[in-house]
Amino acid sequence: MSKIQNIFFDFGGVLLDLDIEKSFIELAHVLEIENNDLQLLIDKMMPYLMRYEVGEISSETFLWHVQKLSTIDVDPKDLIRAWNAMLLGWNPEKLKVLELLSSQFNVYLMSNTNELHLRWVMNDLDKNHGIIDFNTRFFKKAYYSHLIKLRKPEQALFDFIIQDSGVDPAASIFVDDAEQNAVAAGKAGFQAIHHPTNAPLDALFPLLEIEGLKL
């Protein structure tokens, strides 16, 4: 096993606490869809979400498609609030861990995300944590799916970030809370870790030979 030089973090569920179901529950409420039709709502939204996450459609178009799933008129602000409900915010200790890791390793971010979620995150970091340079303070580079037009678990995504970053995947850890993404990273040559959703980061420390930091 190669010595670790690089760490690629997933965002939601690994760094930022996340509850995906909460957004769909909130959307079902504002769209006046019964909760027992939650899976149907998810299934209907998924084609538009996949396109939104790779920047094929704008936030306005995404919200328009979501609005069309209801028979009532909904204020776009309520749709945005509901869509962002899954974003639970930061455990401040994770920011401390990121600071430590970025001083010792090449740290990268790779997130399947979208414009509305990223806007919420950046506003939250500024308002609640005084951080306005998130992408450069903690990461050598941040890769967001809607900006690079690629998403996990596509092989093309891993090919792109390996080429763009110039890393040796064998000397790189890829941390993700979605098993399919961790499996795909492993197939691409990374030392892949399937991280429990919203769990502390200290499980990584033995792999990185870090001692003395506890969450």
Q: What is the mean pLDDT of the chain?
A: 92
pLDDT tens, 182-191?
A: 999 999 999 9
What's the pTM?
0.91
Whether residue 149 is predicted with pLDDT greater than 60 in this model: the reply is yes
Pick the CATH number of 6-16+90-208 from 3.40.50.9100, 3.40.50.1000, 3.30.420.40, 3.30.1490.20: 3.40.50.1000
Q: What is the pLDDT of residue 95?
A: 93
Domain ranges across the chain: 6-16+90-208, 20-86
Q: Centre a 10 Å sphere on the Cβ of residue 9 and count the other Cβ atoms it contains.
A: 24
Can you tell me the mean pLDDT for 145-169?
97
pLDDT tens, 24-56?
A: 999 999 998 876 678 888 899 999 999 999 999
